[in-house]
Amino acid sequence: MKMSEEIKQMLDENIVYLATSTNDGKPNVVPIGLAHAINDEQLLVVDVMFKKTRKNLEDNPRVAISFTDVKRWGSYQLKGIAAIHTDGEIFDEVQRVMKEKSERRKAHTDVIDDPVIEERVRRMGEWRKRLRPKAAVLITIEEIYSHMPESKEDK
């Protein structure tokens, strides 16, 4: 299933939620700060702190990602199959994307004018500097669903 350019941009610009489950169906959902489409059918997420999520991915590679973009008034769920990469080209790519996204995030946070939020951002930035990717998770998209109601014009 192919992702539109709009969906790829939304993935890149928003926090997304990755859902996994154990083999016996116990669900787990985590927020992901880096989700990046590498082509029309695949996206990368980075494992920096996965515990239950990593175990679930190893035991059951079926995943769902959900996200909402309030600027575009769009919301989607993507379902697919995940593969874990701890080295090689895919792992190198997730490291490159992490660096690029960190630089973009810094540029956006330079305009914050609230001391409480500034302090949170500063602490988060310090914490992120210590993060090292453990793995790249490559998700091949099989299904795409919109969370938004259809209008008469969409039918």
Q: What pLDDT does 7 receive?
A: 96
Q: What is the pTM of this model?
A: 0.82
Q: What pLDDT does 61 receive?
A: 97
Radius of gyration of the chain (CA): 16
- Buried b or exposed e, range 120-146, using 16+ CB within 10 angstroms: ebeeeeeeeeeeeeebbbbbebeeeee
Check which CATH number belongs to the domain holding 59 and give it. Answer: 2.30.110.10
C-beta separation of 43 from 141 below 8 A: yes
155, part of any domain: no
153, part of any domain: no
Q: Mean pLDDT by 10-residue block, N- to C-terminus, for the chain (155 residues)?
A: 95 94 95 93 93 96 96 94 97 89 62 71 63 91 92 59
Q: What pLDDT does 152 receive?
A: 61
DSSP helix/strand/coil, 155? coil
The DSSP code sequence of 32-99 is: ES-EEESSSSEEEEEESS-SHHHHHHHH--EEEEEEEETTTTEEEEEEEEEEEESSHHHHHHHHHHHH
Number of domains in the chain: 1
Supply the range of the domain harboring residue 119: 5-148
- The two structure tokens encoding residue 87: 């080295």
Q: What pLDDT does 124 receive?
A: 65
Q: What pLDDT does 115 receive?
A: 77
Strand order in the sheet with 16-21: 27-32, 16-21, 62-69, 74-85, 135-146, 42-47, 35-37
154, part of any domain: no
131, part of any domain: yes
